[in-house]
């Protein structure tokens, strides 16, 4: 069974796009692979400097991952900083990658340009080295990545190959795989843009924790068009197509087939909102249970950290032995 690693930053509330686009596939995939899922709180330090925020966000994200269906008895779910081997291997990876390689990373260029007036953390520059450690630490076979993350996987492979050439075969070379296609969820107010926490307003975003009344309000106000024809056509009718795709993802139908059931936008908006409310209800109930019992949540995370560390510690020891470091 291939070992697959997927990580997520604790940078705020999870939304419907995260769930239908990715997390639901994580839940299905835990039964198909040896699944490792990291809450990468150390990476979040490059953009968060308010005390307490990273810790709170990490706990809330963990509760959400369990609530959507990740099973701690099946998958390994852990917080990055709870497995200290990440930081230790991260430094070793920094010593195996060049300044030039890091400076060519497009995400660093994009993010640094956006933050010119802000404090620019050196961690943002060395981020790919820690990401390489995250991946290589678990002898990962496959990493599901979109096009925006492919460069990070490529530099991880380059670092691993360089290390193996210098010190002998030590690392498994991970392979990039396209993630299974999830629902393509767009902003309800701007259906040409993906649903995102970084949008100017949250009017078009459905949080996984939005109450039913707010969900219905947002769907009833969803942007469509003026011709009142219900059909699935992303290019010509992005707003209507977004509603159909969300409805299909929540009910198991297809957007094209569902379109035939409607002659008016109002009914489509109501049905889609109700389907989302029904989808979120059990997730919200489990999330609230976990957040009301921090002891249980912490116990689950300790168990995940122990499982992760049982693999990570072996890898780090192998790396240190290959280099010839003095054993502790």
> Which positions are annotated as active-site residues?
111, 194, 197
Phi-psi region of 53 (alpha: psi -120 to 50; beta: other; left: phi over 0): alpha
- Give the residue among 118, 317, 96, 290 at the shortest CA–CA distance from 209: 290
Q: How far apart are CA 94 and CA 306, in angstroms?
A: 25
Distances in Å between the alpha carbon of 135 and those of 34, 74, 86, 164, 174?
14, 19, 9, 15, 8
- Contact present, 272 and 282 (Cβ < 8 Å): no
Tell me the pairing of strands 142-144 and 76-79.
unpaired
Residue reference for tokens 């705020």: 12
- Give the residue among 118, 138, 151 at the shortest CA–CA distance from 46: 118
Q: How far apart are CA 288 and CA 243, in angstroms?
A: 27
User: DSSP strand E in 198-238: where?
Assistant: none
Phi-psi region of 12 (alpha: psi -120 to 50; beta: other; left: phi over 0): left
- Contact present, 249 and 195 (Cβ < 8 Å): no
- Contact present, 174 and 157 (Cβ < 8 Å): yes
Q: Judging by beta carbons within 10 Å of its beta carbon (0-12, 13-18, 19+), is residue 54 exposed, middle or buried?
A: buried
**Letter string b/e over residues 174-208, b meaning 16 or more CB atoms within 10 A of that residue's CB:** bebeebeebbbbbbbbbbeeebeeebeebebbbbb
Distances in Å between the alpha carbon of 49 and those of 7, 11, 42, 59, 137?
21, 12, 12, 17, 27
């Amino acid at each position: 069974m291939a070992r697959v690693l997927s990580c997520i930053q604790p940078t705020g509330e999870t939304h419907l796009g995260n769930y239908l686009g990715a997390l639901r596939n994580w839940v299905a995939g835990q039964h198909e692979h040896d699944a490792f899922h990291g809450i990468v709180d150390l990476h979040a330090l490059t953009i968060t400097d308010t005390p307490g925020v990273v810790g709170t966000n990490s706990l809330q994200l963990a509760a959400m991952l369990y609530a959507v269906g990740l099973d701690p008895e099946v998958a390994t779910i852990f917080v990055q900083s709870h497995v200290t081997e990440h930081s230790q291997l991260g430094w070793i990876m920094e010593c195996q990658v060049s300044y030039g390689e890091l400076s060519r990373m497009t995400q660093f260029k994009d993010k640094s340009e956006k933050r010119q007036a802000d404090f620019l953390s050196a961690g943002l520059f060395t981020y790919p080295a820690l990401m390489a450690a995250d991946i290589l630490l678990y002898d990962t076979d496959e990493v599901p990545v979109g096009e925006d993350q492919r460069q990070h996987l490529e530099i991880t492979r380059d670092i691993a190959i360089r290390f193996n050439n210098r010190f002998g075969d030590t690392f498994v070379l991970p392979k990039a795989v396209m993630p299974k296609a999830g629902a393509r969820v767009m902003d309800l107010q701007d259906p040409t843009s993906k649903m995102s926490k970084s949008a100017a307003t949250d009017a078009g975003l459905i949080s996984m924790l939005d109450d039913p009344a707010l969900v219905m309000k947002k769907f009833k106000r969803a942007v469509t068009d003026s011709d009142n024809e219900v059909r699935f056509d992303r290019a010509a009718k992005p707003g209507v197509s977004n509603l159909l795709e969300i409805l299909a993802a929540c009910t198991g139908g297809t957007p094209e087939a569902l379109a035939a059931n409607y002659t008016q936008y109002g009914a489509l908006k109501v049905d889609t909102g109700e389907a989302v409310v029904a989808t979120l209800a059990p997730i919200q109930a489990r999330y609230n249970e976990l957040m009301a019992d921090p002891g249980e949540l912490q116990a689950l995370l300790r168990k995940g950290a122990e499982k992760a560390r049982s693999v990570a510690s072996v890898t780090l020891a192998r790396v240190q032995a290959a280099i010839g470091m003095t054993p502790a």
